[in-house]
Structure formats: structure tokens, C-alpha cells
Amino acid sequence: MDAIGIYVDLSKDTLKYSLLSIAFNPIFWNIVARLEYSTHILTKLAFGNAKFGCYGLAVTIFSLGIVRDYLYEQCLREQPTLKELEILPVKILAGIVFAYGNILVVSSMWALGVTGTYLGDYFGILMDARVTGFPFNITNNPMYYGSALSFLGTALYFAKPAGLLISGFVLAMYLIALQFEEPFTGEIYAKRERERAAAGKKVK
């Protein structure tokens, strides 16, 4: 049996469901957010209130995240365990990685607020200025990296090689999502600055 067969059981449906959920979530929120930006469909469904529309998307994304985490946990239960990882130093490392990942996620949500975290930019709810304090002074995308670290910490704690591979897949999906999100979000704010500059010229 090859190494994949020994350490990762590809036959398990829970593995497939976990990977599908991980891939689906960023695809979903990017498509829905761009649809909102171009048609304001969620704002219309929220009776013309952009903030309520954003809150609705936030609840949906948060719920999908819970489902994703549940599927990941179920997947790990059915995957082979690597005994070499079942040692105290790895458990301690796992705790540190998991805790740091969650600190990045929670602190970034605290700094951005609900609308800043859950794509409020696409609803026309823009922040006054770029957030530069912790954790954004460490990385521009603390929530994504923090989430990937949480997956990694969980995989290490339960000594599951499949979890290590899934954690890499999580990071890859987020990095792909950033290729679409960052330029689009940058253009949203650039457009606001152009409009402000044009308004300033008119006042003069």
C-alpha cells in the first residue's frame, strides 16, 4: 500500500464532503457578494437596507462555516492516525497553533466589525480608513491565515495526516479567493476616492 493509502483514506465520503465544503464556502461568498454589488439583490430582499442585507449574508457565511467545521471534524474521526504525532510536544504545538489562529480570526473580526468582516464593501458600506492595527500589522489577511492555522492545529492535535493535507487545501482555497477579492475590493475603494476627488473639484 502506498503512503497515501496508509496515512489518508481517500475512500471515505466524509473526506470528500469536507473538501467540497471548504471549496464551496469562498466560492459562494464571492459569487453572492459580486451579485450584490452589481444588482443589490440582498439589499432589495432586506427591504432596501444594505446593513440588514449584509447581516443576512454574515449569518449565512457563519452558518456555512459551522457546517464546514463539523464536516472536517467528522472527516478526521474516520482518518488514520499517525502514532508518531501522538506525543506531548506535538499536542502543545497543536494548542499553540490553534490558539494563535483563533486569536487572528477573533481579533480581525473585532477590528473590522460585522460589516467589515462580512463583505460590507460590496453593499456600499465602506470603512473610513484602512485598519492597520493588530492583527493587520502582522498580515493583510489575518482571518484567512488564522482559519488555516486552526485547521492545522486541529489536525496536529488529533495526529491526522489527512488533516494536514486538508489544512493545506484550506490555505490554497483562501489564496485563490484573495486573487479575486483583493483587486475587486481595491477597486471599490479606489472608485470612492475618485468620486470624492471629483466632488471636491466641483465644490471649488
- What is the residue extent of each domain of the chain? 3-203
Predicted local distance difference test score (pLDDT) of residue 121: 96
C-alpha cell read off for 36: 450584490
Predicted local distance difference test score (pLDDT) of residue 185: 93
Buried residues in 177-189 as b, exposed as e (16+ CB within 10 A): beeebeeebeeee
C-alpha cell read off for 131: 485598519
Query: CA-CA distances (angstroms) from residue 52 to 23, 49, 60, 165?
Result: 26, 5, 12, 37
- What is the pTM assigned to this prediction? 0.92
Q: Quick one: which of 182, 95, 109, 169 has its CA closest to 143?
A: 109
DSSP-based helix, strand, coil % in the chain, nearest 5: 80, 0, 20
Query: How does pLDDT run along the chain (204 residues), one tens digit per residue?
Result: 455 668 999 999 999 999 999 999 999 999 999 999 999 999 999 999 999 999 999 999 999 999 999 999 999 999 999 999 999 999 999 999 999 999 999 999 999 999 999 999 999 999 988 898 999 999 999 999 999 999 999 999 999 999 999 999 999 999 999 999 999 999 999 999 998 888 776 655
The distance between the two most distant Cα atoms of the chain, rounded to a whole number of Å, is 76
According to DSSP, residue 48 is labeled T
